[in-house]
Amino acid sequence: MSKLGNLGARLHRGEISYDFVGKRKIWYGVSILITITAILGLAVRGLNMGIEFQGGAVFTTPVKMSTSVAQAEVFAKDASGHEAIVQKLGNGSLRIQIAGIDTGKSDQIKTKLAQDLKLNPEKLAADLVGPSWGEQIANKAWEGLGIFMVLVVIYLAIAFEWRMAIAALVALIHDITITTGIYALVGFEVTPGTVIGLLTILGYSLYDTVVVFDSLKEQTKDITKQTRFTYSDIANQSINGTLVRSINTTVVALLPVAGLLFIGGGFLGAGTLNDISLSLFVGLAAGAYSSIFIATPLVADLKEREPAMKALRKRVLAKRAQAAVGEDLADARGTAGDESDDNAPAVVGPRNQPVSRNRGRGRTSGKRR
Amino acid sequence: MAAPKKGRSASAQSKPGRSLALILIAIVALTAGMFASGHRTPRLGIDLAGGTSITLEAVNEPGQPNAINKTNMDTAVDIMNRRVNGLGVSEAEVQTQGDRNIIVNIPKGTNSEEARQQVGTTAKLYFRPVIQREATTGAATPTPSASPSGSASPGAGSASPSASGSAKAQDKVSGSSASPSAGATSQGRAVTDALKADASPSVSSSPKAAGSPSPAASGSADPSAAAAAKQYATLDCNDPKQRAVAGRNVKTGETTVACGKDGKVWSKFLLGPVDVSGTEIKKAQATLNTQGAGGWQVDMTFDSSGAKKFADVTAKLAQRTTPQNEFAIVLDDEVVSHPYVQTAITGGNAYISGSFTQKEAQSLANMLSYGALPLTFKEQSVTTVTAALGGEQLRAGLLAGAIGLALVVLYLVIYYRGLSLVAMASLLVSAILTYVIMSLLGPAIGFALNLPAVCGAIVAIGITADSFIVYFERIRDEIREGRTLRPAVERAWPRARRTILVSDFVSFLAAAVLFIVTVGKVQGFAFTLGLTTVLDVVVVFLFTKPLMTLLARRKFFADGHKWSGLDPKSLGAQPPLRRTRRPAGPAAGPADPKEA
């Protein structure tokens, strides 16, 4: 704790910092690589859509079945290789729904299933079912997503600035692409749960990015009035300053999801829980990564193209060059020149007066201003 | 020194106390409401709890052999989906099965009777002029109606005479040029005395065209008129068999007969050709009319062609006398209401008011909004179904979520020590509020929770924790700047608040847009997201912050005890610190954090 607290303190004061912005080319490269993999996965393997999206076959058994729902699930999976939805109806018959089966395959599965269930295939009613999550729902979901993205860009452009809005959008698309790509690669079935997981990420990814941007906006308020830091330097300080928060929030959000994915999934094998938690897990991790490594460096990149920021960079570099010259002189005199870089208030030495007499003097302690 | 300090803290003290009291009262009230309502758990969707499955079969209509095709079936699925999922939170599922069946699955706890009516009704709606009508209980003695006096709205409604003096509130149709919402109804329609039975015939305040009315059917070149008139003469609407066939399969351009219920009494109607059809209604919604007689009504907005036709028809009808100044609203061959018209209604807005209950009005509005089914369906079977996923998925999900939460708590304790108490209390408050509100929303709006939503709620807890972490880190930053706890807590708040609000606004925007635009399960998800986001803000503002303010006064925290999570030393605060007396030494310096 003490160590962690210290780390936080030193990050806060900028004593230690990692150069996130300076190494942005690496992060961009990593992201582009993952994104290409994801897109390839989507293109080659495609998404394995569940019965809710593409329909499938439904088999209805006669009444008075002794087979349990769990057994029937196993049989259906054996027969078809797909996850099946099995429900017991009021009259005791079973309704078995299997995704993605065309008529040709349906007969084969029906025969196999009837054999497993110890039924005469004649008695097993087979029919094709349409999607319950029809095209209209999907289209409306896309439409909603589009409208949301437009609005959020407008909102962020007003609340922050357009460069941040663009960067946030890029980070968001990055997260969604990676998550769907991993889905394609793993080959899990896409259920409504998956889609809902994806939409949850949408909000969370932006949430994370907005927190970092908020601190960035605050710290760059009077940036042109100083000549010590370039915009990239301050962006880097922002990331480092909010790093502890970013790590904590990601851990706290990921722990329950990891529980769902590894414990819940481990208990039951594949299932809806896994579908949802996988998309959440990958998406949350991607969201945390993109808020630090993609969104903020991208803002810095865009900002540095502004004439005002270019001029600032010139001034800063000129001053640093001057300082370097001055430092050489100072070193000759034997004082530490880099101390001047430290923004910390002057060190107040120990005092030997009683504490009570010392109150409210020197620095403000918040009681007397 | 001490006195002003006391004063200041006293004034600040009332505030956190008030907020905390407010949220605690809210929790107690909601929880009490939950136990009182008898719905102690949130309703679960089909995937977790099963429900009822209705199978509907499309019926061939005479003369339309090719009506049952994929396009029409898909349209029917869409319309039914919207009807049963009016708010999008009830988790009902609709899908086709084979070429001519549609399966509708409704989660447990939904009123399946109501749902069956909702999905099975074709909802073909027509406006037809009334030529003749007659109550089946002997002579029709029209109840008089006073028409509204001094009404501000053009085409103010008047009550239609209802037969047999039943105590039914009478239907009125009114137009308004304003939007068809509460605004339109608040235009000072006078309370009529229409409900009082009175033997004198209706007197209307607007001058009517003199001259006796001629039945619309006479002199018209409509061959169906004579046949319909013959049918009308023999029709007995008290006989359910006759009711069932009255007016079936009549073309829109023909005169027809129909039955309709006035209160408890069936009336028979002779109706002219269709003037306006339900497909020309752009939007309909149920509103509560607080003006006049009050009660529920259905506001309708016509599209441009419908609006024009409606204006023409009402202008024509306004010239006639009872009953030919009435038009019948015919839903699936049954007259649901037959308001009379006083002046032309222009502007494309109208409302139907009558003796609607809230449910009736909403269901009618729902059907009018989503249009008529392209096919007629008959119910094939209704059966219960078990959970699609089985209970073990929910159990495993909850267990895994609990383990995950335990890990979160452990992490918070290690990192934030004493502060984690605040976080845990806040999480607990969030969890209780979420649970209680979801339980109450089940009966209120048919909200049902499916497995994705349960997972979403677990993730939402992480997002809620995010808000405190933003705030805690801000406080610790302030302490690192060398402030003592109390000012640090107060100074950190405005900045943390802004971050929390901006981020939560983004989440809420996502929820709102998705809720408005989408349908079905996505809409249900958007609702859950919006709810948890709002609760997040409520909890942080009314609970976490006031609690922090109170705790900042406790010695344990204010003095930065080692276990409080606010120890300035371990946070590496910049000196000077009130309490610490450092040994004088060259090593003592802020640049050397090792000593902390």
Angstroms from A42 CA to nearest CA on chain B: 23
DSSP state of A354: -
Q: What per-residue confidence (pLDDT) applies to A36?
A: 92
Residues B129, B325: Cα–Cα separation, whole Å: 8
Q: What per-residue confidence (pLDDT) applies to A328?
A: 67
Q: Is B293 exposed, middle or buried (0-12, 13-18, 19+ CB in 10 A)?
A: middle
> Minimum mean pLDDT among B144-153, B305-314, B364-373, B533-542: which range?
B144-153
Say whether B588 and A350 touch across the interface (CB within 8 A).
yes
Give mean pLDDT, residues B187-205: 31
Choose the most confident range, by mean pLDDT, from A87-91, A175-179, B412-416: A175-179
Is A78 inside a domain boundary? Answer: yes
Contact in structure between B396 and A269 (CB atoms under 8 Å): no
Instruction: Report the DSSP beta bridge partners of residue B258.
Output: B269
For residue A91, the domain's CATH number is: 3.30.70.240
The A residues from 282 to 341 touching B (CB cutoff 8 Å) are: 284
Identify all chain A residues contacting B94, using CB atoms and an 8 Å cutoff. 132
Is residue A155 very low, low, confident or very high in pLDDT (cuts 50, 70, 90)? very high
∠ CA(A248), CA(A217), CA(A323), 5° rounding? 100
Pick the more confident residue, B193 or A225: A225
The A residues from 88 to 127 touching B (CB cutoff 8 Å) are: 88-91, 95, 127
Q: What per-residue confidence (pLDDT) applies to A269?
A: 58
Residue of A nearest to B517 (CA): A144
User: Of the candidates A155, A248, A252, which has its C-beta nearest B509's C-beta?
Assistant: A155
* The last residue of a domain, from among A267, A290, A314: A314
In a mutational test of the B interface, the residue from A207, A262, A339 whose CB has the highest number of chain B CBs within 10 Å is A207
* Spacing of C-alpha B526 from chain mean position: 14
User: Same structural domain for residues A182 and A252?
Assistant: yes
User: Of the candidates B383, B414, B483, which has its C-beta nearest A366's C-beta?
Assistant: B483
Is residue B569 very low, low, confident or very high in pLDDT (cuts 50, 70, 90)? low
> Is the confidence at residue B556, as pLDDT, over 90?
no
Q: What per-residue confidence (pLDDT) applies to B139?
A: 42
> Is the confidence at residue A170, as pLDDT, over 50?
yes
Is residue B264 very low, low, confident or very high in pLDDT (cuts 50, 70, 90)? confident
CA dihedral A252, A257, A259, A264 (to 10 degrees): 170
> Is the confidence at residue A154, as pLDDT, over 90?
yes
Instruction: Give B386-411 pLDDT, tens digit per residue.
Output: 887 766 777 777 787 788 778 888 88
Q: What per-residue confidence (pLDDT) applies to B23?
A: 87
Judged by a CB distance cut-off of 8 A, whether residue B277 touches chain A is: no
Domain tally, chain A: 2
Two structure tokens written together for A137: 């729902």
Angstroms from B493 CA to nearest CA on chain A: 14
| Residues spanned by the domain of A72 | 56-129
Pick the more confident residue, A291 or A344: A291
User: Same structural domain for residues A80 and A188?
Assistant: no
In a mutational test of the A interface, the residue from B55, B78, B97 whose CB has the highest number of chain A CBs within 10 Å is B97
Q: What per-residue confidence (pLDDT) applies to B183?
A: 32
Say whether A267 and B81 touch across the interface (CB within 8 A).
no
Is A345 inside a domain boundary? Answer: no
DSSP B424-488: HHHHHHHHHHHHHHHHHHHHHH---B-HHHHHHHHHHHHHHHHHHHHHHHHHHHHHHTT--HHHH
The B residues from 371 to 410 touching A (CB cutoff 8 Å) are: 383-390, 392-393, 396-397, 399-405, 407-408
User: Same structural domain for residues A24 and A70?
Assistant: no
Give mean pLDDT, residues A186-192: 80
User: Of the candidates A8, A88, A268, which has its C-beta nearest B396's C-beta?
Assistant: A268
> Is the confidence at residue B585, as pLDDT, over 90?
no
Helix axes B520-539, A192-219, angle to 10 degrees: 40
User: Same structural domain for residues A232 and A298?
Assistant: yes
For residue A186, the domain's CATH number is: 1.20.1640.10
Instruction: Give B464-501 pLDDT, tens digit per residue.
Output: 778 888 888 888 888 888 888 888 888 899 988 988 88
> Is the confidence at residue B546, as pLDDT, over 70?
yes
> Is the confidence at residue A1, as pLDDT, over 70?
no
Q: Which of A152, A208, A147, A151 is nearest to A175 (CA)?
A: A208
Percent of chain B having pLDDT more than 90? 1
Is residue B172 very low, low, confident or very high in pLDDT (cuts 50, 70, 90)? low
Identify all chain B residues contacting A1, using CB atoms and an 8 Å cutoff. 414-415, 417, 565, 570
Say whether A359 and B582 touch across the interface (CB within 8 A).
no
User: Same structural domain for residues A168 and A246?
Assistant: yes
Q: Name the helix (H) or strand (E) containing B16.
A: helix B2-37
Is residue B570 very low, low, confident or very high in pLDDT (cuts 50, 70, 90)? low
Say whether B567 and A143 touch across the interface (CB within 8 A).
no
Mean pLDDT for chain A overall: 79
Q: What per-residue confidence (pLDDT) applies to A129?
A: 83
In a mutational test of the A interface, the residue from B52, B408, B459 whose CB has the highest number of chain A CBs within 10 Å is B459
Is residue B219 very low, low, confident or very high in pLDDT (cuts 50, 70, 90)? very low
Q: What per-residue confidence (pLDDT) applies to A165?
A: 93
Q: Which of A46, A196, A204, A198 is nearest to A133 (CA)?
A: A196
Say whether B518 and A276 touch across the interface (CB within 8 A).
no
Instruction: Give A227-265 pLDDT, tens digit per residue.
Output: 888 888 888 888 888 888 888 888 888 888 888 888 776
Residues B259, B330: Cα–Cα separation, whole Å: 9
Q: What per-residue confidence (pLDDT) applies to B228?
A: 82
* The last residue of a domain, from among A281, A314, A347: A314
User: Same structural domain for residues A180 and A41?
Assistant: yes
Q: Is A25 exposed, middle or buried (0-12, 13-18, 19+ CB in 10 A)?
A: exposed
Give mean pLDDT, residues B52-65: 81
Q: What is the 3-state secondary structure (H, E, C) of B548-564?
A: HHHHCCCHHHHCCCCCC
User: Same structural domain for residues A206 and A78?
Assistant: no
User: Same structural domain for residues A101 and A161?
Assistant: no
Is A19 inside a domain boundary? Answer: yes
User: Same structural domain for residues A122 and A145?
Assistant: no
Residues A61, A116: Cα–Cα separation, whole Å: 12
Is A104 inside a domain boundary? Answer: yes
Say whether B487 and A55 touch across the interface (CB within 8 A).
no
Instruction: Give B76-113 pLDDT, tens digit per residue.
Output: 888 888 777 766 667 788 888 888 888 888 888 777 77
Residue B167 phi, psi (nearest 5): -85, 35
Helices and strands (DSSP H and E) totals, chain B: 17, 14
Angstroms from A87 CA to nearest CA on chain B: 5
User: Same structural domain for residues A264 and A277?
Assistant: yes
Is A329 inside a domain boundary? Answer: no
Is A140 inside a domain boundary? Answer: yes
Contact in structure between B475 and B488 (CB atoms under 8 Å): yes
User: Of the candidates B401, B513, B529, which has its C-beta nearest A151's C-beta?
Assistant: B513
Question: CA end-to-end span of chain B, whole Å?
Answer: 31
Angstrom CA distances, B182 to A19, B296, B353, B359, stand at: 59, 11, 13, 18
Q: What per-residue confidence (pLDDT) applies to B204?
A: 33
User: Same structural domain for residues A214 and A102?
Assistant: no
Angstrom CA distances, A51 to A100, A268, A321, stand at: 6, 20, 66
Judged by a CB distance cut-off of 8 A, whether residue B573 touches chain A is: yes
Percent of chain A having pLDDT more than 90? 10
Pick the more confident residue, A61 or B167: A61
In a mutational test of the A interface, the residue from B455, B461, B480, B564 whose CB has the highest number of chain A CBs within 10 Å is B455
Is A224 inside a domain boundary? Answer: yes
* The last residue of a domain, from among A290, A314, A338: A314
Q: What per-residue confidence (pLDDT) applies to B113?
A: 75
> Minimum mean pLDDT among A296-310, A340-354, B60-74, B538-552: which range?
A340-354
Is A322 inside a domain boundary? Answer: no
User: Same structural domain for residues A164 and A41?
Assistant: yes
Give mean pLDDT, residues A94-120: 81
Please count the residue pairs, one from chain A and one from chain B, whose beta carbons lie less than 8 angstroms apart: 333
